[in-house]
Amino acid sequence: MIPADSTRPADAQAAKDFVAEWVMDAVNTLWPTAQSKYPNIPPMNLGMVAHIYFERLTNLDLVHALAEAHPQFMVRAEESFREGILGEIARRGEGGSIRPDLILFRIGGDIETAIEEVVAVWDLKTGDAMITQEWAEKTAARLGIPLEWIYTIRPD
């Protein structure tokens, strides 16, 4: 577990800033698109559409842009983690699991000893909902990061 007062190394901060800028641009593009394409669906369903768009755009664009700009880092969208085991991946929708919308990792080691270190976590919110303290604490504990490394993404 990374201590709460930890600061990111400069390369990790640069990668986090790169992803944060991309995320805001993406969300501010996809949210109006979802709203105009589906003007009559309930807000909760519209939020689900935005999450699907976000995951697809991340996988189609951000993964490659980040690899080019910061090759020692990678992102994964909508990955679930099991309760009680630090960093263990769960089946999507598995009971008791948590699923941040986006995770930024630093990749270390070599092909046989690869290590993924979580650098930042984002969760997309399209309505009035906020990240709850309970969810943030569970996420931080399961990923071994300080609470301060968890961010809300919200369209402008």
Q: Is the pLDDT of residue 6 over 70?
A: no
Do residues 148 and 119 lie in contact, with contact meaning Cβ atoms separated by under 8 Å? no
pLDDT of residue 98: 83
Pick from 49, 2, 5: which is nearest to 30 by CA? 49
pLDDT of residue 152: 95
Strands of 150-153's sheet in order across: 73-77, 102-108, 115-124, 150-153
Confidence band, pLDDT 50/70/90 cuts, at residue 87: low
63-78 pLDDT, tens digit per residue, is: 999 999 999 999 999 8
pLDDT of residue 3: 58
Task: Give the integer Cα–Cα distance in Å for 16 and 11.
Answer: 9
Cβ atoms < 10 Å from Cβ of 83: 14
Question: Considering the entire predicted model, what is its pTM?
Answer: 0.87
